Structure 1
Amino acid sequence: MKIVLLGYMGSGKSAIGSLLSQKLQISFYDLDNEIEKIEQIAISEIFKTKGEIYFRKKENEVLKAILALEQDFVLSLGGGTPCYYNNIELLKAAGLSSYYLKATTDTLVKRLMDEKNSRPLLHNQDENSLKDFINKHLFDRNYYYHQATKIVNVDDKTIEEISNEISDALT
Structure 2
Amino acid sequence: MEKKIFLVGYMGSGKTSVGAKLAKILKCDFLDLDVFIEEKEGMTVRELFKLKGEIYFRRAESKYLQEIIDQKEIKVISLGGGTPCYGNNMGRILSASNAKSVYLKASIPTLTKRLFEERINRPLIAHLDSEELLVEFIGKHLFERSPYYSQSEVTVLTDGKSLDDIISEILSVEQ
Structure 1: give runs of 5+ residues left out of the alignment.
none
Distance (whole Å) between structure 1 residues aligned to residue 54 and residue 16 of structure 2: 21
Letter in 2 for 1:124: H
- What is aligned with 1:115? 118
3-state SS of paired residue (2:160):
coil
- Cα offset for 1:34? 0.2
3-state SS of paired residue (2:87):
coil
1:134 pairs with 134, 138, 146, which one? Answer: 138
- Cα offset for 1:58? 0.8
- Cα offset for 1:42? 1.5
RMSD: 0.9
- What is aligned with 1:20? 22
- What is aligned with 1:36? 38
3-state SS of paired residue (2:17):
helix
Q: Deviations over 1:13-64 (max 9, x none)?
A: 0110010011011111110010011112211121122221111111101100
Structure 2: give runs of 5+ residues left out of the alignment.
none
- What is aligned with 2:78? 76
Q: Deviations over 1:108-166 (max 9, x none)?
A: 00001121111111110121111111001110011101100010001111112111211
- What is aligned with 1:170? 174
The yes-or-no answer on 1:151 pairing with 2:155 is yes
Distance (whole Å) between structure 1 residues aligned to residue 134 and residue 58 of structure 2: 22
TM-score when scaled to structure 1?
0.97
Distance (whole Å) between structure 1 residues aligned to residue 54 and residue 167 of structure 2: 31
TM-score when scaled to structure 2?
0.95
Percent sequence identity is 46
Task: Please list every run of at least 4 consecutive aligned residues from structure 1 whose deviation after the TM superposition is greater than 2 angstroms.
Answer: none
- Cα offset for 1:105? 0.3
1:5 pairs with 4, 7, 10, which one? Answer: 7
3-state SS of paired residue (1:16):
helix
